[in-house]
Structures are given as C-alpha cells and as structure tokens.
Amino acid sequence: MANVKTIGVGNGVSISDQTGYLEAHAALSEGDSIVVSFAAFDSTSGLPYLTKAPATAQQEYDVVAIAAQDLAAGATGKFYFSGVVLSNVDSGVAAGEILAVTNAAFDLQDATAVTNTKIVGRALEAYSASALSKVWFDGLNGLGHNET
C-alpha cells in the first residue's frame, strides 16, 4: 500500500516497508535480489522460509525479496519485500526505468524491453559501480506487468 507523505522536506509518495526473515540458500550481499522458495515450509508456522536463486526464465509469479544485510549460506537474515530499498541493479539502469528479475544474477535488470514479466521496481537513481542504488520496490504484488 502506498503512503502519501505530507509533512517536511522531501514530500512524495512512498511505499510501505514490508520485511521478513528467510534462510539464505547461498552467500548473499546486501542488496541482492532473490526469490522465495516454496519447496520447504517451517514446521511451526507453515510458511516458506528459504531463498533460492532467480531462474533464467521470467519471474512472473514469484515472490521477490532484497537482502537487507550480508548473509552466509544457511544463515537467517532480514529481507525487504517492499519499500524504498537499496539494491544491486544492472550496469545499464538509469533513473526512472522499470526493473525486474530476468536472469540468474542477483541484481535487478532494466525491464523496458522485456515482455511477460512482473515489474518489481522503479529505479530512483542510476546505476553506480561503487554503491547500491535506491529502488522503489514491491516484490510481493509488483508494480505492474510487461505484456507482449
């Protein structure tokens, strides 16, 4: 759900932060994008708890999350499911572009020319080789869908 900020400097529309804790399938860095695995469920809560690498196929129906911290393989850590987050993005991304997970890399890709995929973000700033990029992100519902 979007919130409209009405007080202070820097007014604008933001998206609510939604976070959760998952077990990393591999070593992850802060800002890496992953997919939630529905292959295993916690015995107490009945909820999925593992991450998996994004596939090379389009991720139309997957739940995407962004690592909020560096994690070793098998460690449990915090992930963002929505919000204005810092993320790894592909080197060609410019501010304002739509983003999706379109390959097995752990970064968000420019989805302008990609079809049949869930749009999970908008770049709020351009790619930087030395820093994570600010992204308006929704890995649960997405921000739209790119059709053919």
Residue 127, C-beta contacts closer than 8 angstroms, at least 6 positions apart: 89, 90, 91, 92, 93, 94, 133
pTM: predicted TM-score of the whole model, two decimal places = 0.84
Separation CA 106–CA 102 (nearest Å): 10
Q: What is the pLDDT of residue 91?
A: 84
Q: What is the distance between the alpha carbons of residues 19 and 42, in angstroms, rounded to a whole number?
A: 17
Note the pLDDT tens digit of each residue in 100-148.
887 777 889 888 877 778 889 999 998 887 789 999 999 998 887 766 5
The pLDDT tens digits of the residues spanning 35-79 come to 999 888 989 999 999 998 887 665 677 899 999 999 999 999 999
The amino acid sitting at 7 is: I
CA 21 to chain centre: 14
Distance CA 110, CA 90 (A): 7
| Distance between CA atoms of residues 32 and 108, nearest Å | 8
pLDDT above 70 for 5:
no
Reported confidence tier of residue 11, pLDDT bands at 50, 70, 90? low
CA distance 111 to 12: 24
Question: What residue ranges do the domains of the chain occupy?
Answer: 13-146
